[in-house]
Amino acid sequence: MSPSIIQVKKLSKSFGDRLVLNGINLVIPEGKITVIMGGSGGGKSTLLRHMVGLTKPDAGSIEIEREDIVRLAPEKMNDVRRKFGMLFQGSALFNSMSVFENVALPLREHTDLSDEIILIIVKVKLELVGLTGFEDFLPHQLSGGMRKRVALARAIALDPKIVFYDEPGAGLDPITASMIDQLILDLSQKLQITSVVVTHEMQSAFRIADQIVMLHKGKVLEVGRPEDIKTSSNPFVQQFIKGEHEGAIPFRQTREAYLKGLLET
């Protein structure tokens, strides 16, 4: 396996008295695609927010290129942040700016490029996500899937070393979703960009992943290559892959458990 670019060690975080991340250990290899999977509310977005330094953990460390970002001064953190782009689950576009301005913002803020060059770069990035001609639209004039793609264009505007994607395919039609998958693959294979992708879509996960991380109840359940995960003997993992509602993780509880739950609250 290639050298690691991100190392997460014993990461724990609780919100109130709810332990959301419980001692996560994770190594993200450089230039590869790591897919994080897990149930809804399992702490995937929270894990990503830790990796980009938006949330401080209660315990543990996160090293990006050997630099512990948990204990880094804010100014230094901004230098680290230039290395990565992030696609938020809810897109997080700037609503008062047009599509063009959204994608151009990181370029304008972090580079000295002239306006003509920025225009060209933005056009190229929008082309990549299949949104040519939408430069002058405002985010609220776009559909959810289009917004997601603009956010993707913005995340890769600066050609970052690492890109974090929080559910890039959610809310997209299968064709666009597979186009995004292809884009992530291209970025990783042609430009050696490290990708960390959170997704629920099994198909796309198995297609793009070099490494799959299964997250369950704040813990890493299993890490491995897609083939290993597919043949995993862990019942949780199998249930997740097959998308069954009955299995190791009970969806519909037994009558006794249900009653017990009611009485306890």
Partner 1 sequence: MRDFLGNIGSAAGLLLAGVCRLFGLGVRILAVSVQGSPTKRGARREAFVRQMVLCGFDSLPIICLVACSMGMVLALQGAYQLKQFGAVMYTGSLVSVSVARELGPLMASIVIAGRIGARMAAELGTMKVQEEVDALTTMGIDPVRFLVVPRCLALCVMLPCLVIVTDAVAILGGFVIGVMSVGINPDLYLAKSFDALVLKDIYTGLAKSFLFALLIGLVSCHQGLSVQGGADEVGRATTQAVVTSIVLIIVVDCLATAIFYYALPT
Residue recorded with tokens 């994608």 = 103
| Residue 199 touches Mg ion, criterion: CB under 5 A | no
Contacting partner 1 (CB under 8 A), which of 108, 225, 235, 259?
A: 108
| Residue 199 touches ligand ATP, criterion: CB under 6 A | no
Q: Strands 59-64, 4-15: parallel, antiparallel or unpaired by DSSP?
A: antiparallel
Contacting Mg ion (CB under 5 A), which of 8, 28, 45, 151?
A: 45
Q: Considering only CA atoms, which of 210, 245, 248, 247 is closest in space to residue 36?
A: 210
DSSP symbol at 82: T
| Residue 79 touches partner 1, criterion: CB under 8 A | yes
| Residue 44 touches ligand ATP, criterion: CB under 6 A | yes
37's enclosing H/E stretch is strand 33-38
Which of ligand ATP, partner 1, Mg ion, none interacts with 15 (beta carbon under 5 to 8 A by kind)?
ligand ATP
Alpha-carbon gap, residue 183 to 180, rounded angstroms: 5
Q: 225 in helix, strand or coil?
A: coil
Contacting ligand ATP (CB under 6 A), which of 28, 32, 35, 45?
A: 45
Number of helical (H) and strand (E) elements in the chain, helices listed first: 10, 10
Contacting partner 1 (CB under 8 A), which of 84, 100, 165, 236?
A: 84
Helix axes 144-155, 115-128, angle to 10 degrees: 130
- Looking at the Cβ atoms of 85 and 169, the one nearer to partner 1 is 85
| Residue 250 touches partner 1, criterion: CB under 8 A | no
Name the residues that contact partner 1, by CB under 8 A: 49, 52-54, 78-79, 81-82, 84-86, 88, 90, 92-96, 105-106, 108-112
